[in-house]
Copies of this chain bind each other. A is one copy, B any other.
Amino acid sequence: MQDSPISPLFERLVIIGPGLIGSSLLRRACLDRTIARTLVTTDHNPQVCAHVTQLGIADEVHTELAAAVEGADGVILCIPVGAMGEVTEQIIPLLSPGTLLSEVGSTKVSVIRAVSPFLRPDIFFIPTHPMAGTEFSGPDAGFSTLFENRWCLITPNIETVTTETQKERTLSPLPQERENATRKIETLWQKTGAKTRRMDPIHHDKVCAMVSHLPHLLAFTICSTADDLADETRSEVLDYAASGFRDFTRIASSDPIMWRDIFLNNKEALLEMLARFMEDAQAMARAIRWEDSEFIMDRIERGRRIRHSLIDNKQA
């Protein structure tokens, strides 16, 4: 690895958790040395560290958080949302003033609430959510193009979900400094090929509940409904899965700990969207029972419209 002639965005960037997201970010940053002069990563599991060292996707790999974050000007938590608070608590006393602290969790409100109690006003905490992923996890699952043309949502307005006392502790007295930090993290994601957009954390959680968390919940559920069928029928479901069921199982193969954490950490928004969905499914059941053709046709037509909007949006 060689120095870049133009000054990189970060001098020492630490990726905590070299899993799917973390290792993809490292791989991308290895290719574009304008992201960071020194790339550091750390994992609590020494075997994972040894493997990541072999992969050669970081300049330094540490098993100890303290050794990793020492002297860092940027730290990005790429760990399950349920672990964000605890790890922040451990690293905060070790960070130099002015360090940019970020994270990539799939939920925002609960992560901000978990992290905020430990923040200092001289640390800039900018939460992000790269809307990219696969159903695989771990350092081998990552690849440098994961974020290309995908959205990365940035939720810098953490004060909308923190308490008054936390606000004093967490927000830098100079709004311009926070704005600069936000721009810096936006630049980082743009360098990975992502499109960035700022969003309020509460709104983020609502949109993601609908767009990602509810579909995953339904996919996990239909798999376990099928799993409960009598043996013969269940084995036939597997034989004939190509007829629709299969599309649900792909997303149902994602990492259990990550998804448990997401469900528990976006409880309110997810339960709200699920309740709406259940009402709609009940209405559909009623329409089928009473043979209300018009209602059924209307629901099916809406599905098609949404699909066509996606095709027009080039998201399909």
Residues of A within 8 A of B (CB): 131-133, 150-151, 203, 206-208, 210-229, 233, 236-254, 256-257, 259-260, 263-264, 267, 270-271, 273-278, 280-282, 284-285, 288-289, 291, 293, 296-297, 299-310, 313, 315-316
Contact of A315 with B242 at beta-carbon distance under 8 Å, contacts A247-B247, A263-B296, A274-B281 already known: yes
Chain B: minimal CB distance from A190 (Å): 17
**Complex contacts, A251 vs chain B, CB 8 Å:** 244, 247
Which 7 pairs show the lowest CB-CB distances between chains A and B? A252-B303, A253-B307, A215-B244, A212-B243, A223-B303, A256-B300, A220-B303
* Cβ B281 vs Cβ A219 within 8 A: no
- What 15 new A-B contacts, CB under 8 Å, besides A228-B276, A248-B248, A253-B308? A132-B242, A208-B240, A210-B225, A220-B300, A223-B303, A223-B307, A225-B273, A225-B276, A226-B306, A241-B316, A249-B303, A256-B301, A257-B297, A260-B300, A264-B296
A315 and B226 alpha carbons, distance in the complex (Å): 15
Centre residue among A271, A293, A300 by max chain B CB count within 10 A: A300
B237 and A210: CB pair below 8 A?
Answer: yes
Min distance, Cβ A196 to any Cβ of chain B, angstroms: 13
* A214-B222, A223-B306, A225-B280 known; A248-B246 Cβ under 8 A: no
Which residues does chain B contribute within 8 Å of A259, judged by CB atoms?
Answer: 296, 300
Chain B contacts for A216, CB-based, 8 A: 244
Contacts of A285 in B (CB 8 A): 271, 274-275, 278
A299 and B220: CB pair below 8 A? yes
Q: Which residue of B lies closest to A295 (CB)?
A: B260
CB nearest neighbor in B for A289: B271
A52–chain B nearest beta-carbon distance, Å: 24
Given the contacts A211-B241, A310-B241, A302 and B227 also touching, CB distance less than 8 Å: yes
Among A212, A275, A303, the most chain B Cβ lie within 10 Å of the Cβ of: A303
Closest-by-CB residue of B relative to A230 is B206
User: Which of chain B's residues have a CB closer than 8 A to the CB of A300?
Assistant: 220, 252, 254, 256, 259-260
A273 to B263, CA, bound (A): 24
Q: Are B247 and A215 in contact (CB under 8 A)?
A: yes
* 20 A-B pairs (CB sep. < 8 Å): A131-B240, A151-B239, A207-B233, A210-B225, A210-B237, A211-B241, A223-B303, A223-B305, A223-B307, A225-B273, A227-B306, A238-B313, A247-B250, A247-B251, A252-B306, A254-B300, A260-B297, A264-B288, A271-B288, A278-B281
- Given A256-B300, A259-B300, A299-B220, answer yes or no on A211-B236 (Cβ-Cβ < 8 Å): yes
B260 pairs with A293, CB closer than 8 A: yes
State which of B212, B214, B243 has its C-beta within 8 Å of the C-beta of A208.
B243
Interchain nearest-CB distance for A301 vs B (Å): 6
CA distance A224 to B210 in the complex (A): 12
Q: Which residue of B lies closest to A304 (CB)?
A: B253
**CB-based contact B281/A238 at 8 Å:** no
User: What CA separation (Å) do A236 and B285 show in the bound complex?
Assistant: 28
